Structure 1
């Protein structure tokens, strides 16, 4: 292995780790909370409204609406997660279906080529780049839909924890051994919805297939040894921006919430609105710039393109 090849492999491995770091950050789910001015405070036994049966019935009806919405969105989230495997598997199967056809054509023409060489040629073809870019983009858009459901579920949980449970159990600033509701329990101290580390490790595996597809596209675009033609460059550029545009979209929309909701961003503390989404969108833009330099940049220069 010559020095140039070693350097290229080192750069590729480094690029993979940079992409994994950014993807983990983008797919994290920062803890959400409500400012104190939007939370309900009361003491047990002082809620005179509960003495009114009509008021109690209204609260229970609203709570049931929230529960039904949570169940519907969790079911929808699970369905889209399954669809992702079907769609991604279908696209990859369609691409791999070309491989046996190429073998038949080779045998018909009398050309002697082993299966490994044919597969390598297929994986380095523009069609492979398009297929992996399409798979990655589709997976990212499905993840965006899944994330939207998770955001709404978390918002409903915040409403229950901040307004419904304190109404019946008292103020949501609880002593250490007091009885709390389920949604409050999930947000008490460093719990499921408040721990920063858990926000990364718990939700990230949902996107593992997307990460794999994204990295496969990255490796294909980075290591493909092909004749650089104008058409090939255009295909690479189109595939590149298809994938990275989807990543930038999910980085922004997956982290932007109405300013009434606050998010605890690692290293940045409590942020809200656009200031909560900007760090993740910025990371996605930086990643797109880095990938452009190491994937498209040298090819474009070599072809006389800017």
Structure 2
């Protein structure tokens, strides 16, 4: 009898060990099947949670310390306000109004996706090269649309100290401005207080006057193609006026060239968009992805 009890207890212990091992294995498998919650909640409004990961993705990288805490608090407050307003709106707005908003949201989503896709396809297909002939033809056909709303000027200038040593020679070179003169002038650029050498570009006169306060519209009109020497208490400006266009005159074609180029490219985009939409419809009909039942 005692031997039987001993064997029974021995077998019982084995069974217990087997059951414990099986239970442990099941627990491990359950842990593997059910992922642990890794998100860290920052706030809750009703059943909606705001998680740390969402905010960190939006936080500017350069923020540190107290600034990041301020950003976090403000973001959480704004998020909570939005969620509370949304909750109240859903309770208090009529079903008809909510359905209308849902339709608008769905339409906006469709438009957003569609336009992004069309933009991608257009970007892959469009030719953005615009010839000078096309630009000038458009300019000639639409001159009245290119009247200036500001004064423009083409000029070059140099500001030098009053005690500049080679003013006389600099004036001669700056007035003549051939290739050798340009090289000599640019070699001394470090000694100038201020300069602008590109006289082939049209500038807004108001911006030029900010740089050269002694200059005004009257001086420019009276001294085109002449070299001006303007002095104040501390410096000398040498100014060579190359051309001037007054407000309400026709804009020079060079000045409006970027605008015309963009207009012509936009025309191509619109044409391509129409072609793409037709292509998509035709392909859908051909492949029986689009059918009409009326």
TM-score interval, smaller chain: under 0.3
**Greater Rg, structure 1 or structure 2?**
2
Could you tell me the TM-score, scaled by structure 1's length? 0.20
Could you tell me the TM-score, scaled by structure 2's length? 0.21
Instruction: Indicate the structure with greater helix content.
Output: 1
**Larger RCO (CA within 8 A; separation ≥ 6):** 1
Instruction: Indicate the structure with greater strand content.
Output: 2
